[in-house]
Structures are given as structure tokens and as C-alpha cells.
Amino acid sequence: MNLRNAFIGEAMARCRYMYYAEKAREEGKEDVAAAYERFARNEQEHAKIWFESFHGIPTTEENLKESIINENYESIDMYLSYAKTAQEEGFDELAMAFMNVARIEDGHKKQFQSLLRDSKADIPSWQCDICGYTDSESKNPAICPVCKHKIKK
């Protein structure tokens, strides 16, 4: 239980520090933002130590299967339940946010399923980080054919 809690604490700290870095940058405090980002990387590495100790990092195929299960739980059970409770308690905006995130998580599940299927068939796939264009014919082109974004290698 200590390893799991240590992981959760470090993972949460990493997220908080990234949010704080964003806020500092909005306020023009670049030095503070850079420090928060550095600390966030430290926290991420600490979390990895604990995660590897209690969970390990299996093969990509096993990770994809686990990710599908987790995203399915989040999209069907977790967020829909949260949305229902929020709605019943009169938090309509929060209920809608939970519903929207449930749909996003379902999209993640479908993308993981596609990645698992493609990896088993050894089909390369690539998605532009800017416009979302997906290409199953090539892997990591130099430029996106849709938005013309140059891809950093």
C-alpha cells in the first residue's frame, strides 16, 4: 500500500506542478514556470520508481490491453456514475463535463484498440499532434500532409 500511495502522491504532485508552471507562465514568471517544470519531471521520475516497484511496466501489448480496460472503466462506469450523481445534486455543468470526458475516454479506448490491432498486424500508424490527421501508410513523416506542420524528429 505504501508503494501505491507513494506513486499516487508523486503523480499528483507532477500534475499540480505542471498546472502551477502554466499559471506562472501566464503571469510572465518564466523562471518560476521553468522551476515548476523541472520539479514536475523530478516528481515523474519518483513516481516511476514506485510504479515499477509495485506494478512493473510490461510489454506494449499488455500495456495496450490494460489501457483499454482502464479507459473502458472510465468511460462507462466511472464518469457516467459521476455525471449522474452531479446531475442529481444539481451540478449541471459538472455533470456535462463528466459526460464529455466520458466520451473522450471512450475515444481513447477506441484508439488503444486500434493501436493494439495495428501492432499485432505490424501496421504502422502516425497521427499529427497539431491537426489530428492519421496515416496508417507511413510512420513519422517529415511534414503533415494536411496542416503542413513540420514534424520534429
Instruction: Tell me: pLDDT of 131 over 80.
Output: yes
Question: Which residues is 150 bridged to in the sheet?
Answer: 143
Q: Which tens digit of pLDDT belongs to each residue from 45-88?
A: 999 999 999 999 999 999 999 999 999 999 999 999 999 999 99
pTM for this prediction: 0.75
Supply the pLDDT for residue 139: 66
Backbone angles phi, psi at 135, to 5 degrees: -135, 120
134 falls in which pLDDT band (50, 70, 90)? confident
Torsion of CA 114, 119, 122, 125, to 10 degrees: 50
